[in-house]
Amino acid sequence: MHMRILESLLELQAIDKLLFDLQRNMQLPTDAKQQADRIRRARSTMEKVEAQHGKQKLDRRKLMRAINRKHAELRECELQFATVKTIAEYDTLQTDIEELRSSIATRESELLTATQALDALRTGIRERRQQLTDLQTRYDAPATLRRSKLAVLDAQLSELHSKRDVVIHSVDPKLLELYNRTRGRGGIRIAATRRGACGCCFQQLPPQNLNEARHATRPITCDHCSCLVVWDEHSQSKP
């Protein structure tokens, strides 16, 4: 009786171990996750720089329009010289013109700074765009590979599930329920006894549990790794 239970459970476990390994294989590798994060960060930085560039361009355009307005005002003032009648009028006009010239000079210097900043931003965007393309290229090749690998693993997964469906019919429902509830290590949920110890974690089993496993009075689980423990006649266990 023990051997038959053990055999069907071990068969089930062999399938579950394969399923466990397969599912772990299907998880995205950490470096791929890091790479995807890096791409996301690079894209967000680039978008920020692009927004900054857009704002800077707008500010520069405003500045140019202001300069043009001042130039128009200056031309108007200069034309007024022809109609000046008094010294006082002449002096006022002269002051206005000086103020306009100084204001134009200040704005032109601001325009120069803005133009330089805009150039720097444009270079920054170009560099970041290249950086992003490089990252994307490096990421895309393994991603394609991963997708094709995943398709193969997916097929293996459904094949294992069908096999599992067949095997569980030969396992006692109560035992199956217990097996499904058991949480073992690395996909191992059932272990044969080994020299009075659990065959999964090799911790010694209490004599009472060992006895019960031997006589199959009730299903025994290991207190240490929570594996389902099945008595194995060939394990030279001490009773």
- The footprint of Zn ion (CB under 5 A) covers 198, 200-201, 222, 224-225, 227
Tell me the closest approach of the beta carbon of residue 5 to Zn ion, in angstroms.
18
Tell me the closest approach of the beta carbon of residue 225 to Zn ion, in angstroms.
3
**Closer by beta carbon to Zn ion, 85 or else 183:** 183
Q: Cα separations (Å) of 11 from 163, 228, 232?
A: 10, 14, 15
Q: Cα separations (Å) of 100 from 81, 84, 92, 223?
A: 15, 18, 12, 91
Helix (H) or strand (E) holding 91: helix 87-167
User: Contact, 78 vs 97, CB < 8 A?
Assistant: yes
Tell me the closest approach of the beta carbon of residue 223 to Zn ion, in angstroms.
8
**Closer by beta carbon to Zn ion, 67 or else 201:** 201
Closest CA to 182 of 216, 210, 224: 224
First to last CA, the chain: 18
Tell me the closest approach of the beta carbon of residue 207 to Zn ion, in angstroms.
16
Residue type, 173: P
**Closer by beta carbon to Zn ion, 8 or else 221:** 221
**Closer by beta carbon to Zn ion, 12 or else 200:** 200
